[in-house]
């Protein structure tokens, strides 16, 4: 358990009119807690924000923070501070939140996720959509061998961090929200916290651990880049896999974007993948429709199980990711810090 006790995050609103939130253990994760909100409070948020359409969220950036303002009004600053602390806390590095008792409507989920995301940080322009969020479908039909692993239901999607090739210095957080699911079995998220990874010291302290590697996205004519929409071109980067962030050991890793220049470096990368894929502490979590998972992308590696074959399998998640707001720049709304 971290020095920050989970109990410290349980906030109630005894002294204000703000709705309460609770932080409880999650049955599938040893580290990620779940935040529990009352369905009627979520409904209040959704009703109060019903006029903010997905289209206006895409076209008018300030409207995204207007959603966060409503979160602040319904649940108070305590919830926003809880979100931030759970993401930043080394032990938990994230949280789960299920609002399916209030809604499973995809537009409402996007509003709610957008509101929480903007409470902790401004999302990046997503490489797959060219927008601040991306819808990521997986279906059994129309999958070709050239398809990116992200869209391949019947291949294991290897452990990685997001934004490894982003020009931003770090991609601190990500959120996956489940919007649609039909004929789905399997396909759970696989997670490994760096502090649970048995071999982390061995790989961090190896000569390659802090050595800059060439990091590059596929070229424009690569089928993956074409499937992703060719939305973002990035300059090649030279970056180490391991780095420090707020005094903590962190990693950024995506095997398909790292270009070794020697047999030794390639062997290191192969061993790295074998180690994270086989670690006994990899945990699998389920995100039902109407639920979401926020992760600290600097602390956690994530991947996905294969799905069980079904001819009509369909699943969609909404993704956002970005850097955390600096401490002093929590959204300041109505003079509240």
Residues that bind Fe ion in the complex, under the rule CB under 5 A: 162
Q: Cα–chain-centroid distance for residue 152?
A: 19
CA geometry: angle at 100 spanning 107 and 44, to 5°?
Answer: 70
Query: Which of residues 78 and 162 has its CB atom nearest to Fe ion in the complex?
Result: 162
| Closest approach of Fe ion to the CB of residue 13, in Å | 35
Q: Which of 121, 122, 243, 112 is nearest to 179 (CA)?
A: 112
Query: Which of residues 79 and 295 has its CB atom nearest to Fe ion in the complex?
Result: 295
Structure tokens that stand for 29 in this block:
């994760």
Q: Cα–chain-centroid distance for residue 161?
A: 9
| Closest approach of Fe ion to the CB of residue 148, in Å | 11
CB 289 within 8 A of CB 100: yes
| Closest approach of Fe ion to the CB of residue 3, in Å | 29
Query: Which of residues 88 and 162 has its CB atom nearest to Fe ion in the complex?
Result: 162
CB 137 within 8 A of CB 316: yes
CB 326 within 8 A of CB 196: no
Three-state DSSP at 7 gives: helix
Three-state DSSP at 245 gives: strand
Three-state DSSP at 213 gives: strand
| Closest approach of Fe ion to the CB of residue 86, in Å | 20
| Closest approach of Fe ion to the CB of residue 239, in Å | 17
Residue whose beta carbon is closest to Fe ion: 162
Cα distance between residue 202 and residue 237, in whole Å: 24
Three-state DSSP at 248 gives: strand
| Closest approach of Fe ion to the CB of residue 302, in Å | 6
| Closest approach of Fe ion to the CB of residue 205, in Å | 26
Query: Which of residues 90 and 302 has its CB atom nearest to Fe ion in the complex?
Result: 302
Structure tokens that stand for 286 in this block:
């389920």
Query: Which of residues 66 and 297 has its CB atom nearest to Fe ion in the complex?
Result: 297
């Amino acid at each position: 358990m971290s020095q920050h006790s989970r109990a410290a995050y349980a906030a109630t609103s005894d002294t204000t009119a703000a709705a309460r939130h609770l932080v409880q253990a999650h049955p599938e994760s040893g580290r990620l807690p779940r935040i529990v909100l009352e369905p009627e409070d979520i409904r209040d948020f959704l009703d109060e924000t019903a006029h903010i359409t997905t289209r206006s969220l895409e076209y008018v950036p300030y409207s995204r923070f207007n959603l966060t303002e409503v979160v602040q009004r319904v649940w108070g600053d305590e919830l926003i501070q809880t979100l931030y602390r759970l993401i930043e806390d080394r032990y938990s590095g994230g949280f789960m939140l299920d609002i399916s008792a209030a809604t499973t409507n995809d537009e409402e989920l996007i509003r709610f996720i957008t509101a929480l995301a903007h409470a902790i940080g401004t999302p990046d322009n997503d490489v797959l959509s060219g927008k601040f969020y991306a819808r990521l479908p997986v279906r059994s039909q129309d999958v070709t061998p050239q398809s990116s692993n992200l869209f391949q239901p019947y291949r294991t999607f290897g452990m990685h961090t997001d934004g490894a090739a982003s020009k931003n210095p770090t991609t601190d957080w990500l959120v996956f929200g489940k919007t649609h699911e039909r004929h789905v079995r399997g396909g759970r998220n696989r997670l490994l916290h760096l502090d649970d990874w048995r071999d982390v010291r061995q790989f961090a302290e190896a000569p390659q651990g802090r050595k800059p590697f060439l990091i590059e996205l596929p070229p424009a004519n690569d089928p993956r880049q074409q499937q992703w929409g060719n939305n973002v071109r990035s300059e090649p980067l030279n970056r180490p896999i391991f780095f420090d962030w707020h005094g903590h050991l962190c990693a950024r890793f995506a095997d398909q974007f790292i270009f070794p220049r020697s047999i030794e470096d390639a062997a290191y990368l192969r061993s790295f993948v074998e180690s994270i894929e086989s670690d006994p502490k990899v945990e699998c979590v389920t995100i039902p429709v109407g639920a979401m998972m926020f992760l600290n992308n600097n602390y956690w590696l994530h991947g996905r199980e294969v799905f069980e074959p079904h001819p009509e399998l369909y699943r969609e998640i909404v993704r956002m990711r970005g850097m955390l707001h600096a401490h002093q720049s929590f959204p300041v709304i109505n003079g509240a810090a």
